[in-house]
Amino acid sequence: VPEIWRGFSKNAFSALDHSVLLASLTVVVLVPLLVAPFLRVIDGLAGGELSGQAVTQVLLLAAGRLATSISGADPIWSVPMFPVTVAFWGATLAWSVAITSAARPVTWRGRAIVLRGRAR
């Protein structure tokens, strides 16, 4: 996992063309929107109020992830991991913005790489 974290951190911000606006919207809006329904269902199953809206959202998100898994030849077992992978990607994106902005090196595959982006 540490190698995956470093690899994603190296590339995540540049995947958004170093756009602070896109990165911020992704981390602050998109990631919570994609993860919150799963947390609401887990809370409901653990004794809270199980919302029909949250269940519907989870089913739709899972169906979408299943469709992309099938079309992209991803393993089907990865579908239930969707909220974990979204949260992981959001965290690596936030970290990527931070280390790029600070020009901190990432050690990946034995090399120290200093990330330099054009923050916009």
pLDDT tens figures, 86-105:
999 999 999 999 888 887 77
Distance of alpha carbon 48 from alpha carbon 44, whole angstroms: 4
Instruction: Tell me the range of 79-83, 99-103, 104-108 where mean pLDDT is highest.
Output: 79-83
Q: Is 117 left (phi over 0), alpha (psi -120 to 50) or beta?
A: beta
- Contact status, residue 9 vs residue 95, Cβ threshold 8 Å: yes
φ/ψ (deg, to 5) at 75: -65, 135
* Segment 6-42, tens digit of pLDDT: 888 888 888 898 899 999 999 999 999 999 999 999 9
